[in-house]
């Protein structure tokens, strides 16, 4: 009896040691390098090699990887307060671009910093754009993409550029993924509207001053979880004024946090003043990473849709998906879509319990979901977002 008791104690002790054991120091160094590579590399083939190597590390866990990701930061050799041209990676041979960055005078890479993505107006430049915002921001990076061509027209094809500008900036500096703001005046304000309705989960808030909101106001459902500051000159183009009033009404119906005003003067007459007001309004707001409820309407500005924790295969220009997550259950109502993929993490569900997905009133999935190193690594590689990480995914078919 005594021998059995001692044996049981040894087994329990061994299990406890294994549960709390950390990976070897040399493996920890290797893991840090792998994470930095995932944040800097662009080729999927390189990503796949790194992921397979990471999975071979003895004792590797999801928690260990997350700890390394949280601590990973890149120091910059560029002088603080300098306006620097940096390259933009765009995954085509035909297109590439540059952006200008203003680094805060007191930049310290030991802590994450907020960043404002500011678009130059038509006929302006990134340098002028930064000067417009420079006096209005506090403790904040300013990043201004250079325009492609003469203006911001054909912004649909330019959306990937904005996405890759963000990726490039994040790998150079220690930025706060939860405090990324985006703003524009006039024609570039329309680019802002197009951007946020297509990729709202990248930002904490936005400002669109003197621009035209989406023609289809239903697309504004995509930004119901994103604080919006917008304005239109009281004596500006009547069509633009009416479009902004329509957007204000729609966002009010959606109970979305927003501020709308109609200052006197033409669209850009009070650019400096509006920059100050809008940044003060956005300042301190943080991104909603995993909202409990969301609605996605097919945006006219993208053909592939992945927003927050939901990705949908678009088959219909009028596709709409409404989803909510609560008590380990996701309830989906969808039209114009055949399947959706849910991206999950521990803040959304309890992985030890059964996970249920209901689609249009029917149970589309019921079972346990396992976290996966590959899913986490792919998520980090694609977005370079160190805070919006998903460790599992479930794909379900949508019935009628």
What's the rounded Cα separation, in Å, for the pair 264 and 335? 42
pLDDT at 117 over 90: yes
Output phi, psi for 38, to 5 deg: -60, -35
Task: Give residue-wise pLDDT tens across range 54-87.
Answer: 888 888 889 888 888 887 766 666 666 666 656 5
Strand partners, 326: 329
What's the rounded Cα separation, in Å, for the pair 244 and 346? 39
For residues 96 and 36, the model is more confident at 36
pLDDT at 121 over 60: yes
Task: Give residue-wise pLDDT tens across range 240-296.
Answer: 999 999 999 999 999 999 999 988 755 444 677 888 999 999 999 999 989 999 988
97 band by pLDDT with thresholds 50, 70 and 90: low
Which of helix, strand or coil describes residue 295? strand
Domains of the chain: 2-71 (no CATH), 83-282 (3.40.50.1820), 293-397 (no CATH)
Q: How far is CA 278 from CA 53, 86, 281, 292, in A?
A: 46, 26, 5, 27
CB 212 within 8 A of CB 247: no
What's the rounded Cα separation, in Å, for the pair 326 and 171? 34
Quote the pLDDT of residue 331: 97
pLDDT at 41 over 90: no
Structure tokens at 353: 């319990």
Quote the pLDDT of residue 356: 97
Sole residue written with tokens 């957007």: 247
pTM, to two decimals: 0.84
Nearest residue to 326 (alpha-carbon basis) of 362, 290, 370, 360: 290
Task: Give residue-wise pLDDT tens across range 149-189.
Answer: 444 444 444 566 677 788 778 878 888 999 999 999 888 89
For residues 109 and 98, the model is more confident at 109
Kindly tell me the burial class for residue 156, based on how many C-beta atoms sit within 10 Å of its own C-beta (0-12, 13-18, 19 or more): middle
CB 369 within 8 A of CB 345: no
């Amino acid at each position: 009896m005594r021998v059995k008791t001692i044996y049981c104690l040894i087994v329990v002790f061994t299990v406890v040691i294994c549960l709390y054991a950390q990976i070897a120091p040399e493996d920890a160094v290797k893991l840090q390098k792998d994470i930095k590579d995932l944040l800097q590399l662009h080729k999927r083939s390189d990503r796949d090699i790194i992921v397979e190597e990471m999975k071979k590390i003895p004792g590797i866990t999801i928690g260990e990887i997350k700890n390394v990701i949280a601590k990973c930061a890149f120091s910059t050799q560029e002088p603080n307060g300098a306006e620097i041209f940096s390259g933009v990676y765009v995954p085509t041979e035909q297109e590439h671009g540059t952006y200008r960055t203003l680094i805060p005078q007191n930049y310290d890479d030991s802590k994450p910093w907020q960043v404002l993505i500011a678009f130059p107006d038509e006929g302006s430049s990134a340098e002028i754009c930064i000067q417009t915002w420079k006096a209005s921001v506090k403790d904040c990076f300013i990043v201004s993409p250079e325009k492609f061509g003469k203006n911001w027209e054909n912004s649909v094809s330019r959306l990937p550029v904005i996405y890759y500008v963000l990726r490039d900036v994040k790998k150079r500096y220690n930025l706060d993924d939860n405090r990324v703001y985006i703003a524009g005046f006039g024609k570039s304000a329309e680019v802002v509207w197009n951007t946020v309705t297509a990729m709202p989960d990248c930002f904490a808030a936005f400002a669109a001053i003197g621009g035209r909101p989406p023609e289809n106001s239903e697309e504004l459902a995509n930004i119901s979880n994103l604080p919006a500051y917008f304005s239109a000159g009281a004596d500006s183009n009547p069509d633009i004024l009416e479009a902004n009033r329509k957007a204000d009404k729609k966002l009010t119906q959606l109970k979305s946090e927003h501020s709308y005003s109609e200052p006197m003067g033409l669209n850009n007459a009070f650019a400096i003043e509006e920059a100050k007001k809008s940044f003060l309004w956005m300042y301190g707001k943080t991104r909603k990473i995993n909202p409990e409820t969301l609605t996605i309407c097919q945006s006219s500005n993208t053909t592939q849709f992945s927003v927050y924790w939901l990705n949908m295969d678009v088959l219909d220009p009028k596709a709409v998906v409404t989803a909510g997550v609560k008590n380990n259950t996701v309830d989906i109502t969808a039209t114009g879509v055949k399947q959706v993929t849910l991206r999950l993490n521990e803040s959304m569900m309890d992985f030890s319990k059964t996970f249920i997905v209901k689609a249009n009133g029917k149970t589309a999935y019921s079972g346990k979901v396992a976290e996966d190193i590959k899913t986490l690594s792919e998520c980090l590689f694609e977005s370079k977002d160190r805070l919006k990480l998903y460790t599992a995914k479930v794909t379900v078919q949508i019935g009628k």
